[in-house]
């Protein structure tokens, strides 16, 4: 049986193959979707990734996070709970000599609750479907995001993000909806006008 692979589509590690392990709920982001996302980011970040910090919260194969590392971001933090996936991520990081990639084995919510590092410019969210992960994550994201930080989300249905997130771009590939959101840190809640 042929082993399933995905490939990094751009940057320093372009064409590097990433093995896809057998794991429940593992659903690597397709090449063309990753290419679309990073085209969006190139436009929004004026082709300069060099100072950006990225959190890949459900890393899986690492395709999204290693794509960011390949394009020259300053730091990538990956989080994954499956031990076999974590081992595969660490093996790939070693093969690429990607010292700016950190890999954490653990639960996404716990990592968010305990993160005290510098804020992230981009959070990548591709959680297992059918488990209502996003409902538990929205309120945990603002403390770890830089002002005007971005959030990429894959989901089973099209999203209407809660405040203070605004939808910038969206698309659909097969059964997967993908979205790029901005954290509008300066956005103030609209006060109800007095009616006296």
The pLDDT value recorded for residue 109 is 87
The pLDDT value recorded for residue 180 is 97
Cis geometry, peptide bond prior to residue 164 (ω within 30 degrees of 0) = yes
Higher pLDDT, 71 or 116: 71
pLDDT digits over 118-170, tens only? 899 999 999 888 778 888 899 999 999 999 999 999 999 999 899 999 999 99
CB of 66 closer than 8 Å to CB of 8 = yes
CA 128 to CA 57: how far, in whole Å?
A: 11
Residue 53 pLDDT > 70: yes
In a domain, 102, yes or no: yes
The predicted model scores a pTM of 0.89
Nearest to 53 by CA among 108, 124, 114: 124
The domain containing residue 18 runs over which residues?
A: 5-183
Higher pLDDT, 19 or 82: 82
DSSP reduced 3-state for 42: helix
CA 57 to CA 76: how far, in whole Å?
A: 10
Report, as an integer, the average pLDDT of 63-91: 95
In a domain, 188, yes or no: no
Q: Which of 22-31, 158-167, 174-183 has the lowest mean pLDDT?
A: 22-31
Share of the chain above pLDDT 90, in %: 66
Name the one residue in this structure whose structure tokens are 């954290």: 183
In a domain, 173, yes or no: yes
In a domain, 49, yes or no: yes
**What is the domain count for the chain?**
1
Residue 196 pLDDT > 50: no
CB of 60 closer than 8 Å to CB of 80 = yes
In a domain, 189, yes or no: no
In a domain, 196, yes or no: no
CATH number for the domain spanning 178: value is: 3.40.50.150
In a domain, 195, yes or no: no
């Amino acid at each position: 049986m042929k082993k399933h692979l995905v490939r990094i589509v751009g940057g320093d590690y372009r064409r590097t193959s990433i093995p896809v392990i057998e794991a429940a709920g593992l659903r690597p982001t397709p090449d063309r979707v990753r290419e679309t996302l990073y085209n969006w980011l190139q436009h929004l970040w004026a082709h300069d990734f060099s100072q950006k910090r990225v959190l890949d919260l459900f890393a899986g194969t690492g395709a999204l996070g290693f794509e960011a590392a390949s394009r020259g971001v300053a730091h990538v933090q990956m989080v994954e709970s499956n031990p076999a996936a974590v081992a595969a991520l660490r093996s790939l990081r070693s093969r690429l000599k990607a010292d700016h990639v950190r890999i954490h084995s653990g639960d996404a919510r716990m990592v968010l609750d305990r993160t005290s590092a510098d804020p992230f410019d981009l959070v990548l969210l591709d959680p297992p479907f059918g488990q209502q992960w996003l409902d538990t994550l929205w309120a945990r994201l603002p403390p770890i995001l830089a002002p005007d930080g971005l959030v990429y989300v894959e989901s089973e249905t099209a999203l209407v993000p809660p405040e203070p997130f605004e939808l910038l771009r969206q698309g659909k590939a097969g059964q997967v909806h993908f979205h790029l959101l901005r954290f509008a840190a300066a956005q103030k809640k609209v006060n109800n006008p007095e009616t006296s």
